[in-house]
């Protein structure tokens, strides 16, 4: 910027307006925001996010009831699905209002429950069994292949480096070049 020998009364020595810039000038300024402004913005975002998480309603847990009460609802209640857990011997039903009931059923009652639910065309889900963890080490063959390829590339790179160094050392001096004494 060329040096000026004059300034307007509302400008400083760099030609900038004196005083606080207008809101429009601040919003359209190409300057990056300050660290304090970033911290303030992050703090506001964090407070809003925490308030939203705390204000969000949580889903109520399933209510435990007796088997007879649950069976009565299975026969005539407004159900949308049922989950049967064979391992624990319990059933969980979900109503149209999204509330849930849970109860242990007696041994041998599962076929009757399934028959009633099938007759009422209610979706039945069976809780899956826990899968046993895999035993023994897991071999990652692709890792070994990748490591071998990287090692080969490193060896090739080292060989090329040594070759080019040797070529530079053994290069004959050109006609006009004389060694510096």
pLDDT at 165: 82
pLDDT at 115: 93
- The strand pairing partners of 90, in sequence order, are 85, 104
Q: For position 93, what pLDDT does the model report?
A: 92
From first to last of the 181 residues of the chain, give the pLDDT tens digit.
Answer: 556 556 566 666 666 666 666 666 666 665 656 666 677 777 888 888 888 877 767 667 788 899 999 899 989 889 999 999 988 899 999 999 888 999 999 988 999 999 999 999 999 999 877 777 777 676 778 888 889 999 999 999 999 888 888 887 777 655 555 555 5
- Burial pattern 121-133, b for ≥16 Cβ within 10 A else e, equals ebeeeeeeeeeee
Q: Measuring CA to CA, how many Å separate 139 from each of 136, 142, 145, 151, 175?
A: 9, 9, 12, 19, 61
Contact at 8 Å (CB) between 119 and 76? no
Token representation of residue 50? 């925490």
Q: Where are the domains of the chain?
A: 63-126
Q: 3-class DSSP state for residue 94? A: strand
> Is the torsion defined by CA of 21, 24, 29, 32 positive or negative?
positive
CB 82 within 8 A of CB 124: yes
Say if pTM beats, i.e. exceeds, 0.75.
no
Spatial distance between the Cα atoms of 35 and 70, rounded to a whole number of angstroms: 60
Token look-up 């190409």 returns 30
Q: Could you say which of 3.30.2270.10, 3.40.366.10, 3.40.50.300, 3.30.720.210 is the CATH number of the domain covering 63-126? A: 3.30.720.210
């Amino acid at each position: 910027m060329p040096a000026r020998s004059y300034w307007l009364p509302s400008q400083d020595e760099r030609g900038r307006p004196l005083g606080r810039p207008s809101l429009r000038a601040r919003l359209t300024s190409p300057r990056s925001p300050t660290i304090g402004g970033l911290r303030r913005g992050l703090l506001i975002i964090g407070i809003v996010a925490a308030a939203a998480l705390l204000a969000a309603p949580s889903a109520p847990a399933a209510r435990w009831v007796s088997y007879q009460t649950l069976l009565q609802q299975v026969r005539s209640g407004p159900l949308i699905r049922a989950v049967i857990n064979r391992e624990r011997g319990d059933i969980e039903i979900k109503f149209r209002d999204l509330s849930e009931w849970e109860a242990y059923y007696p041994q041998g009652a599962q076929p009757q429950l399934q028959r009633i639910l099938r007759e009422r065309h209610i979706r039945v889900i069976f809780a899956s069994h826990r899968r046993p963890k895999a035993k023994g080490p897991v071999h990652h063959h692709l890792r070994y292949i990748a490591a071998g390829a990287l090692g080969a590339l490193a060896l090739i790179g080292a060989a090329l480096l040594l070759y080019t160094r040797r070529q530079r050392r053994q290069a004959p001096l050109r006609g006009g070049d004389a060694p510096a004494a």
